[in-house]
Structure 1
Amino acid sequence: VERLREMGLRVMMLTGDTEEAAAVAQQQLGLAAADVLAQVRPDGKARAIASLQAQGCKVAVVGDGINDAPALAQADVGIGLHCGTDVAVETAQIVLMRNALMDVVESIDLGRATFNKIRQNLFWAFVYNTLGIPVAAGILLPATGILLTPAAAGAFMAFSSVSVVTNSLLLRRNFRA
C-alpha cells in the first residue's frame, strides 16, 4: 500500500466482508475510512468503480474471486491473481502468476517503463525519418554531391530497427522474473 501511495496512487478497499473485518484490515493497511467500503455486493463494486470513473479517475482493481469479476471487468485495468477463480483470471487484463501482491507494484512499474520506451522509440524513429528520408531522396545532392545508394539507405533503415530493438531490450535490466 505504501509503495502504491509513493507512486501517487490512491488505494481503496471494496470488500464483501463485514464492517468489523474491514475495519481491522483498514487499520492494518493504514487506509482512510472514506477509502474502505464493506459489505459490498459484486454489482455494487462495479457501480463504485463506475462512479470513480465518472469522476475522471483511472481505476485498477485487484481481485481473485468470482465476486470480483464484475469489478475486474468494469475497471480500466483488472489485475487477477493466478490462484483465483477461473472467471476472475479470465476477466482480468493482467494475471499475476506468483500470487504476490507486490507484483501489482512491479506490473505498474513495468507498464510505465514500457510506455516510456515506446515514446523513446517513436521519438528516435521520427528523428531518423525526418533526417533520413530527405537525404535518401537526394536533398544533399545539389549542394554537396552526396546521394545515398539504395544499399546505404537500406543499411541505415536496418540500423534504425536494430537501435529500436536494442533500446527496448534495455527494459530487461530493471525487470527480471
Structure 2
Amino acid sequence: MHPQDTTRDFETIALPHLDAAYNLARWLTRNDQDAEDLVQAAFVRAFRFFATFRGEDARSWVLTIVRNTHFTQLRDNWESRNSLPFDEELHADGAGLEQQSPEGALLQRDTQAAVNHALERLPTAFREVVVLKDMNDFSYKEIAEIVGVPIGTVMSRLARGRKLLLAYLDGYAPGG
C-alpha cells in the first residue's frame, strides 16, 4: 500500500474518533494537557500499527489504544504533573445556556461541577467504565474489549462505580 493511501485510510478511520479519545484521556489523566499528550501518543501508536487494524470497530480500537497507552505510560513511570481542577466553562456544553435564566445556568453549572468532582473521586477502574458507558454510550461488549476484562467485570465495575458516584453526590442539593 502506498504511504499516501495509508495516511488517507488512517485519517478516514481513526480521526472521526478523536473527540471520544480525548474525552477518555481527559478522564483518565484528569488534566487537559496530559490528555492532549496522551491522545497524541496514542494516535502516533495507532498510526504506527495501523496495518494491524482488521476492520473491526474503529472507535473501540482507538479507545483501546488510548487506554493502553495511558497505562503503559503510568507503568513506565511517566511523570504526571499536578492535576488541575476540571474547568467547567471549558468543557460545559454551552448549547442552550443563552436561553436559560441566569439562575438556571448557574444551577446547571453547579450540578455539572458536583458530578465532575464526584467522577474525579472514583477509582480509575470504575471511572473509566462509567465514562465509557454513560458519557460515550459504549456497549458492555465494547467496554470489555477496550478495558480488556470480561463483560461481567464491566457490569460489576459499572454498578459499583455508579453506586459510589451516587454516594459521593448524596447530600448534594442543587444551588445549595
Taking structure 2 as the reference length, the TM-score comes to 0.25
Flag the structure with higher strand content.
Answer: 1
Instruction: Report which of the two structures shows the higher radius of gyration computed on alpha carbons.
Output: 1
Flag the structure with higher helix content.
Answer: 2
Greater relative CO, 1 or 2 (CA 8 Å, sep 6+): 2
